[in-house]
């Protein structure tokens, strides 16, 4: 069994795919980053209001991959918040410039937002878009100007480290939910 698994891993690696092998089965290895700078929205579907993980709003194989990776995707996404590589084209209407880190922020925020708009991750109030009199791009740029990308990344990392054991994916709501310590046991 182990020889067959090793041979399979070698063959797949030669073909350019990376897999992790255990004594029981071979499973795909989680990516170390997502190519968000090349966000693959299909037919400009991700431009209006809605969450990026909702198929009726946004058709993206990349978002499907992130959702399929589950909780393992979150630290990877947090590591990408500081990236400044511009996207091939804006994925939001009326935005002038969008970077990989910008998209990462919105992916994370959407993954923790319920279908009713309730945000599920505590301790991130200082980096949430709550501007009342300006557009979302200007609001986001003001947050970045005040604290910088590293500050945003540190806020997410702190919140994640504090709450990761209490988080699970809710498929019916298509978002991560935070469960209390009493409900988690």
Tens-digit pLDDT profile for residues 162-175: 999 999 999 999 99
The pTM of the full predicted model, rounded to 2 decimals, is: 0.79
Q: What angle do CA 84, 64, 88 make, to 5 degrees?
A: 35
Tokens of 136: 């979302």
- State the pLDDT confidence band at 4, using cuts at 50, 70 and 90: very low
* Tokens 């923790």 found at: 112
Q: Which residue stretches of 29-119 are H helix? A: 61-69, 73-79, 100-111
Q: Is the pLDDT of residue 68 over 70?
A: yes
**Between the ranges 20-24, 28-32, 68-72, where is the mean pLDDT highest?**
68-72
Taking each helix axis from N to C end, the angle separating 136-163 and 100-111, rounded to the nearest 10 degrees, works out to 60
Mean pLDDT of 119-125: 93
The mean pLDDT value of the chain amounts to 81
Confidence of residue 183 (pLDDT cuts 50, 70, 90): low
């Amino acid at each position: 069994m182990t020889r067959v698994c090793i041979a399979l891993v070698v063959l797949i690696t030669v073909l350019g795919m990376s897999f992790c092998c255990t004594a029981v089965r071979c499973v795909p290895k989680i990516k170390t980053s997502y190519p968000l700078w090349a966000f693959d929205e299909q037919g400009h579907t991700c431009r209006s209001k809605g969450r990026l993980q909702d198929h009726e709003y946004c058709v993206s194989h990349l978002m499907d991959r992130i959702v399929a990776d589950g909780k393992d995707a979150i630290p990877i996404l947090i590591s990408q918040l500081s990236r400044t590589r511009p996207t091939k084209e804006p994925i939001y209407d009326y935005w002038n410039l969008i970077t990989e880190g910008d998209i990462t922020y919105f992916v994370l925020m959407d993954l923790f937002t319920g279908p009713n708009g309730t945000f599920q991750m505590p301790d991130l109030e200082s980096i949430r878009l709550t501007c009342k009199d300006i557009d979302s791009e200007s609001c986001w740029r003001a947050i970045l100007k005040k604290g910088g990308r590293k500050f945003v990344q540190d806020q997410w990392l702190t919140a994640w480290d504090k709450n990761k054991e209490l988080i699970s994916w809710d498929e019916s709501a298509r978002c991560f939910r935070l469960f209390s310590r009493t409900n988690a046991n």
